[in-house]
């Protein structure tokens, strides 16, 4: 019954915001356009289709908002106008009641809240679709932030995700290109990210890893996790204070060096990507503060991205090749990564990339958007049925956020100047003598463990060979004995038959 009512709500919102336009725009449903127009004569639609889709998702609630946010990153699947509009979705949700907060805490800790925290502020400082945050103080005096999952959020998500799967199946059935767009895979990817966000122990581990990666860096501060207080429903971490990075006027009032702050943000991002292969994938202004010493403060670690060496090599080669206008190298990077169909012609892919990207380079380097480059690349990839990896789509979304934030801080920011040293350094560390030395360093501990065992391993190998040889000889001897036994038995039987014939035949 609950799911049926939810379906009715979705239908009502879709009609109100004119989302039937997406369906009726297809040639297969052209015959329905007239009747629908007559039935909905009273409706007055305002704004373009992409804006109306965004407003409809906001009306449907937090899970659909999060789905829209996730969908906005799939620029390899969506038209540009829709992707741009969905990227504006904001996860603004009213907080849940303080009595539910205390109920969750008492259930998780199996004791009253005042026995867990010396102080606990019942009013939340932040509220989102999955969880909300309260300030508190531990008995040792530590100031902390307590993140608490919304009560029964898992059942709400399960119902809405089931409806999303239903919609994805309809898309696959009704549209000829439905299967190529892989709507069910998109929903499955979204469901996986939601499952990760519902486990606050995972988020705590992400925060701990990022903190360790930037320990003593002097540019990025990550709150310390208080593990003794963390569960899958509650995360307790160090309370951070600073100015939200979106408040540029407040930063200027503090006399913060804004251009340097913008460059530092880009450097932090590329360090995460090309040094660690582990990056904060939700770097919007609400999740970034600036400390009094002008260090960045990272918050909210529910969505993190990881990159393999293959991914990093793909990105570095693409970015460097793009800015050198070496489009064949870009095409070959796809082939080497194994994401291109076997029957693809590299020269055709190269020509398509050139036709899309060449116009970009009519402008100064500082005006070229890295995120737009990836967007264009994904658009070309879609034409050639290239499988775009989810981790790279997540990276593209993050890069667009970082780029937008950097240029909001400093319109003259030249991302190429900031990024080029990271790309070239990473490439030099992967190939040539630097790469060779790095591999030796990485393998040396394994060699140190194996070298003392070499004599014993050689002895075992020789012994196994000798044993194997002896076993082989014994098997051959047994086979020969069997052959000889069969011959003796046969000869005996023949001799016996001959004797019997001689005795009885002669008589």
DSSP 128-170: -SSEEEEEEE-TTS-EEEEEEEPTTHHHHHHHHHHHHHHHHHH
Distance CA 229, CA 438 (A): 40
Non-local CB neighbours of 340 within 8 Å, separated by 6+ positions: 334, 349, 384, 386
Closest CA to 54 of 89, 84, 22: 89
Clarify whether 343 is annotated catalytic: no
Stated length of the chain: 507
User: Cα separation of 173 and 178, whole Å?
Assistant: 7
Strands (E) across 156-269 are located at 220-221, 234-238, 243-244
The torsion defined by the Cα of 490, 493, 494 and 499, in degrees rounded to 10, comes to 160
Q: Which helix (H) or strand (E) holds 446?
A: helix 432-450
| Tokens standing for residue 93 | 């949700």
Which helix (H) or strand (E) covers residue 248, if one does?
Answer: helix 248-253
Sign of CA dihedral 103, 107, 112, 117: negative
**Beta pairing, strands 131-137 & 304-306:** unpaired
Which of 376, 415, 414, 386 is closest to 399 using CA atoms? 415
**CB contact at 8 A, 237 and 207:** yes
**Which one of 81, 160, 199, 282 is the catalytic residue?**
282
DSSP state of 26: S
Q: What pairs with residue 280 in β-bridges?
A: 304
Q: Considering Cα of 367, then 373, then 374, then 375, what sign does the dihedral take? A: positive
Helix (H, G, I), strand (E, B) or coil at 254: coil
CA-CA distance, 82 to 75, in Å (whole number)? 9
How many Å separate Cα 80 from the centre of its chain? 21
Instruction: Let me know: does 183 contact 168? Beta carbons within 8 Å.
Output: yes
Share in percent of the chain as helix, strand, coil (round to 5)? 65, 10, 25
Q: Are 289 and 405 in contact (CB under 8 A)?
A: no
Helix (H) or strand (E) holding 10: helix 2-16
CA distances from 434 to 270, 422, 430, 431, 494 (A): 20, 15, 7, 7, 81
Could you tell me the two tokens for 167? Answer: 């919609």
Catalytic amino acids?
A: 282
């Amino acid at each position: 019954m609950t799911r049926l009512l939810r379906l009715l709500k979705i239908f009502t919102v879709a009609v109100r915001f004119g989302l039937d336009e997406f369906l009726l725009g297809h040639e297969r449903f052209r015959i329905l356009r007239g009747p629908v127009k007559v039935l909905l004569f009273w409706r007055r639609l305002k704004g373009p289709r992409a804006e109306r889709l965004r407003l409809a998702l906001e009306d449907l609630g937090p899970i659909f908002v999060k789905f829209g946010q996730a969908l906005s990153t799939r620029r390899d699947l969506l038209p540009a106008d829709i992707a741009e509009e969905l990227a504006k979705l904001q996860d603004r949700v009213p907080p849940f009641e303080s009595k539910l907060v205390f109920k969750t805490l008492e259930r998780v800790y199996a004791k009253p809240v005042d026995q867990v925290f010396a102080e606990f502020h019942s009013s939340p400082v932040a509220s989102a679709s999955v969880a909300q945050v309260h300030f508190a103080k531990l008995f040792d005096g530590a100031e902390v932030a307590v993140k608490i999952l919304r009560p029964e959020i898992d059942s709400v998500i399960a119902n809405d995700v089931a409806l999303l799967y239903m919609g994805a199946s309809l898309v696959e059935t009704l549209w000829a290109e439905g299967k190529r767009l892989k709507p069910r895979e998109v929903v499955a990817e979204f469901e996986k990210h939601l499952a990760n966000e519902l486990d606050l122990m995972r988020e705590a581990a992400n925060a701990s890893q990022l903190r360790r990666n930037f320990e003593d860096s002097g540019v990025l501060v990550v709150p310390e996790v208080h593990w003794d207080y963390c569960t899958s429903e509650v995360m307790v971490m160090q309370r951070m204070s600073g100015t939200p990075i979106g408040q540029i006027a407040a930063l200027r009032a503090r006399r913060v060096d804004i251009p340097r702050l913008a460059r530092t943000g880009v450097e932090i991002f590329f360090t995460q990507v090309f040094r660690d292969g582990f990056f904060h994938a939700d770097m919007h202004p609400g999740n970034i503060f600036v400390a009094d010493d002008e260090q960045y403060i990272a918050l909210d670690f529910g969505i993190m991205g990881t990159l393999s060496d293959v991914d990093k090599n793909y990105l570095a080669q693409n970015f460097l090749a793009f800015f050198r206008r070496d489009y064949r190298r870009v095409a070959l990077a796809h082939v080497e990564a194994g994401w291109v169909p076997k029957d693809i012609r590299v020269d055709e892919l190269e020509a398509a990339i050139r036709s899309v990207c060449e116009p970009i380079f009519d402008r100064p380097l500082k005006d070229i958007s890295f995120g737009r480059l990836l967007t264009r690349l994904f658009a070309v990839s879609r034409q050639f049925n290239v499988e775009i990896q989810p981790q790279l789509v997540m990276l593209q979304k993050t890069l667009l956020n970082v780029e937008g934030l950097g240029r909001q801080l400093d319109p003259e920011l030249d991302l190429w100047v900031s990024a080029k040293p990271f790309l070239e350094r990473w490439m030099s560390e992967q190939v040539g003598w630097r790469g060779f030395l790095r591999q030796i360093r990485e393998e040396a501990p394994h060699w140190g463990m194996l070298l003392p065992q070499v004599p014993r391993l050689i002895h075992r190998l020789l012994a196994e060979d000798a044993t194997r040889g002896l076993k082989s000889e014994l098997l051959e001897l047994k086979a020969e004995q069997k052959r000889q036994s069969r011959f003796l038995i046969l000869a005996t039987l023949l001799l016996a038959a001959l004797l019997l014939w001689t005795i009885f035949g002669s008589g």
